[in-house]
Amino acid sequence: MNNGIETLAERNIVDQRNHSVNIIPTIEAVLAQSNLKLTEIEQIAVAAGPGSYTGLRIGITTAKVMGERLGVKLVGVSTLAALAANMTPAGTKAELTVALLDARNDNFFAGAYRLDSASKSSGPAVVLSDAHVALEHLLELVQEMLRQYNFTRVNFVGDFTPEHAAKIKDQLLSTDVELHFGTDQENLVHAGQIGWIAEFSTPVSPAELLPRYLRKTQAEVEWENRTGAKSLKDDSKYVEEV
203 in the same domain as 154:
no
Same domain, 135 and 66: no
Is the CB of residue 79 less than 8 Å from the CB of residue 68? no
What is the band of 12 on the pLDDT scale with cuts at 50, 70, 90? very high
The structure's pTM equals 0.89
141-174 pLDDT per residue, tens: 999 999 999 999 999 999 999 999 999 999 998 8
What mean pLDDT is predicted for residues 23-31? 95
Structural domain harbouring 237: 216-242
Residue 181, pLDDT above cutoff 60: yes
Length of the chain: 242
Report the pLDDT value the prediction gives residue 26, as an integer from 0 to 100: 95
Statement to judge: residues 115 and 40 lie in one domain: no
Higher pLDDT residue, 223 or 124? 124
More confident residue, 229 or 210: 210
CATH number at residue 108: 3.30.420.40
pLDDT(75) > 50 = yes
Q: Based on the domain organization, do 195 and 237 belong to the same domain?
A: no
Q: Is the pLDDT of residue 235 over 90?
A: no
DSSP class per residue in 33-64 = HHT--GGG--EEEEEEESS-HHHHHHHHHHHH
- Alpha-carbon gap, residue 118 to 124, rounded angstroms: 9
Condensed to tens digits (0 to 9), the pLDDT of residues 33-44 reads: 999 999 999 999
Nearest to 54 by CA among 230, 229, 224, 213: 213
Under a CB-based contact definition with an 8 Å cutoff, are residues 73 and 204 in contact? yes
- Above 60 in pLDDT, residue 225? yes
Q: What is the dihedral of CA 188, 191, 196, 197, to 10 degrees?
A: 70
- pLDDT for 241 equals 43
For residue 176, pLDDT beyond 90: no
As a 3-state breakdown, the chain gives helix, strand, coil percent values, each rounded to 5, of: 45, 25, 35
pLDDT at 218: 67
Residue 224's pLDDT is 74
pLDDT band at 237 (very low <50, low <70, confident <90, very high): very low
Residues 194 and 74 in one domain: yes
Q: Are residues 223 and 238 in the same domain?
A: yes
Q: Are residues 10 and 57 in the same domain?
A: yes
Which residues lie closer than 8 Å to 43 by C-beta, 6 or more apart? Answer: 72, 73, 74, 75, 198, 203
pLDDT of the residue at 85: 96
Please tell me whether residues 101 and 135 are part of one structural domain. yes
Q: What is the pLDDT of residues 86-122, one digit of tens each?
A: 998 877 889 999 999 999 999 999 999 999 988 888 8
Domain count, the chain: 3
